[in-house]
Structure 1
Amino acid sequence: MMMQERTYKDAVGAILFDAAVSPQVGHAWFAPDYWRECNALRTQAGGRGGVAIIVTPVGECVLRHYRRGGLVAALMGDRYLWLGADHTRPFTEFRLLSEIARLGLPGPAVVAARYVRHGLFYGADLITRRIANAQTLAECLLAGQLDGERAEEVGALVARFHRAGVWHADLNAHNVLMTPDELYLIDFDRGRLRTPAASWQQANLQRLRRSLLKLGAASQGEAAFEKVIWQPLLYRYGRTLTP
């Protein structure tokens, strides 16, 4: 189904949505309390991003509230400097996800994005379709289920995005989803399309490597990690990047 991008604007802010998925999306869609009152809020997690699983008229979706991380969070929290609608975090991620879908790459299917103005700042939210029966690469690793075969699949996944020029700003083990049938990359906040180049592609891979090591992937020693996990991942990555 072709994307039908529509925008709804009012005095509060604006909503960008795919009319092919839902002909109308209001501000209530971005309020966890609304879904709770409708008995349609499955789960809600705290921490950075404030993610909720909601049951909408178009199926189960993920509602994510944008929130800064690191030291900046103490000062800015969930506020971002207003530089125009097309430069807002949710609108740029919405459009990148639309392009990812057009390219046939496995990313979250986008439903709607919203910003709310607060003077010189804005708050932001994004709704995507929930990917069912999935676990993160981090969960797979911690469950002792990450082997050379799965590592190769991850390498192929990353290479497909890199070959298309899709740069993920935070490529880590929590942003790789694994289902019985497919692997996905999620959370493309601050991501963008770039001319394919070894410099940023290798930096992306090193970020993923650091994430795996931080989660204990080298618990049997770094030599074992290199042989069992990292080298198979790089092998399949290279074969997929330049077939």
Structure 2
Amino acid sequence: MAMQERIREDDAGVILFDAAVSPQVDADWFEPEAWRARGALRQQSGGRGGVAIIDTPAGECVLRHYRRGGLVARLMGDRYLWKGADFTRCFREFRLLGAIAALGLPGPQVVACRYRRTGLFYTADLITRRIADARTLAQCLADGSLDGELAERVGALVARFHRAGIWHADLNAHNVLVTAEQIYLIDFDRGRQRPPAQAWQQANLLRLRRSLVKLGAAAQGEGRFEEQLWKPLVYRYERTLRA
């Protein structure tokens, strides 16, 4: 189904939504307390992401409030410098997810996003459809289900995105979701489409490797990790990239 972009503006901010997914999206969609009052707030967590699981007319969704990380968060918190609507984090991620869907790649289905501008700054939120019955690759590693076969599937997944020129700004084991039928990449904040090139593709792949090692994938030895997980992943990555 082709995306149908619509924009709605009111005192609460500017909303960009896909009318093909939900023909009506208002400001309350971006307020966890509004969902709580309806008994439709399924789960909420704080931290950097500010994520809530909500039961909407478009199905179960993930509401994410954009927050900064690192030292700059102490100064800016959840505020970003205004450079125009098309340059907001939420509009860019919304449209990138639309492009990913149009390419037939497995990412989250985007529903809506909103920015709220105050002077030189803005805050932002994004709503996507929740991917049901999914575990992160980090969870698969922790419970021992990350084996050579799954590693190969992950390599093929990353290659498909890279072949299409999709750069993920934070490719790590928490942003790979695994279901019984499919593997997905999620969280495309700051991601973009760019001409395929070995330099950024390899840097992206090595970022995933560092994430796996940091989470303990090499705890039983670097050589074992290399042979049982990383080589299968890279083997399938390279074959898929050339296909």
- State the TM-score, normalizing by the size of structure 1: 0.99
Structure 1 residue 180: Cα displacement: 0.1
* DSSP 3-state at the match of 2:25: coil
What is the aligned partner in structure 1 of residue 204 from structure 2? 204
**Cα separation, 2, equivalents of 1:136 and 1:211:** 12
Following the alignment from structure 1 to structure 2, what is the Cα–Cα distance between the partners of residues 59 and 218? 39
Letter in 2 for 1:53: I
**Aligned counterparts of 1:70 and 1:211: Cα–Cα separation in 2:** 17
1:16 aligned partner? 16
Amino acid corresponding to residue 154 of structure 1 in structure 2: V
Aligned residue runs from structure 1 range 184-203, under 5 A: 184-203=184-203
Q: What residue is the counterpart of 1:170 in the other structure?
A: 170
* Structure 1 CA distance for aligned equivalents of residues 8 and 176 of structure 2: 32
Number of residues of Structure 1 aligned to a counterpart in Structure 2: 243
Deviations 1:164-215 (A, max 9, x none): 0000000000000000000000000000000000000000001000000000
Structure 2: unaligned runs, 5 residues or longer: none
Q: Indicate yes or no: 2:45 matched with 1:66.
A: no
Partner of 2:25: 25
Is contact 2:8-2:16 (8 Å) kept?
A: yes
Return the offset for 1:23: 1.0
Task: Give 1:13 shift.
Answer: 2.2
SS of the residue 1:189 aligns to:
coil
Q: What code does the residue aligned with 1:122 have?
A: Y
Secondary structure at 2:64 match in 1: strand
Q: What root-mean-square deviation, in Å, do the aligned CA atoms of Structure 1 and Structure 2 show?
A: 0.6
Question: In the alignment, is residue 95 of structure 1 matched against residue 74 of structure 2?
Answer: no
Q: Which residue of 1 aligns with 2:116?
A: 116
CA–CA distance in structure 2, aligned partners of residues 159 and 222 of structure 1: 24
Counterpart for residue 228 of structure 1: 228
Letter in 1 for 2:215: L
1:2 CA displacement:
1.4
Aligned to 2:78, the other structure's residue is in SS state coil
Hey, what's the Cα distance between the residues in 1 that align with 2:192 and 2:147? 30
The reply on whether 1:47 has 2:47 as its aligned counterpart is yes
Consecutive aligned runs of 4 or more in structure 1 exceeding 2 Å deviation: 10-13
Identity of aligned residues (%): 74
Aligned partners of 2:205 and 2:61: how far apart in 1?
Answer: 29
In the alignment, structure 1 segments of 5+ residues that lack a partner are: none
Give the drift of 1:11: 3.5
Aligned residue number for residue 78 of structure 2: 78
The CA deviation string for residues 121-167 of structure 1, in whole angstroms up to 9 with x for no partner, is 00000000000000000000011111000000000000000000000
> Is the partner of 1:227 in helix, strand or coil?
helix
Q: One-letter code of the match for 1:69?
A: G
Measured after TM superposition, the shift of residue 231 of structure 1 is 0.3
Deviates most, 7-16 or 199-208: 7-16
Secondary structure of residue in 2 paired with 1:111: strand
What's the CA shift string for 1:92-144, capped at 9, x where partnerless? 00000000000000000000010001111000000000000000000000111
Report the alpha carbon displacement of residue 24 of structure 1 after superposing the two structures with TM.
Answer: 1.2
TM-score, reference length from structure 2 = 0.99
Tell me what 2:151 maps to: 151
Q: Secondary structure at the match of 1:49?
A: coil
